[in-house]
Amino acid sequence: MGVVTGIADLPGNAYIDSKELGRLIGRCKKSIQRAVRRGELPPPVKFMGRHVWLVKTILDHFEERQRAACQQMKQRQTRLKQNMP
């Protein structure tokens, strides 16, 4: 996938549908749906008959997942250090 900047370049208050999100990150609509089920993307909201995301919501979700991953890594490193002789 490489570096994805298209989402970050959009205004935070813009709405984006699954087709455009898929285009920006190089995934098909079905992959977007699967990512939502796995929690990799936040759930969309229905707006005028389409499922859309507020760009800020997607970016916030990514940031929170990154923070959680860093916290898990720190906890794992602490446990490993505690278990060392």
Which domains are delineated in the chain? 6-82 (1.10.1660)
**Entry pTM:** 0.79
Question: What are the tokens at 57?
Answer: 């919501």
Q: What's the pLDDT score for residue 82?
A: 83
For residues 21 and 46, give the distance between their C-alpha atoms in angstroms, rounded to a whole number: 15
pLDDT tens track for 32-85: 999 999 999 999 999 899 999 999 999 999 999 999 999 999 998 888 878 776
For residues 3 and 64, give the distance between their C-alpha atoms in angstroms, rounded to a whole number: 19
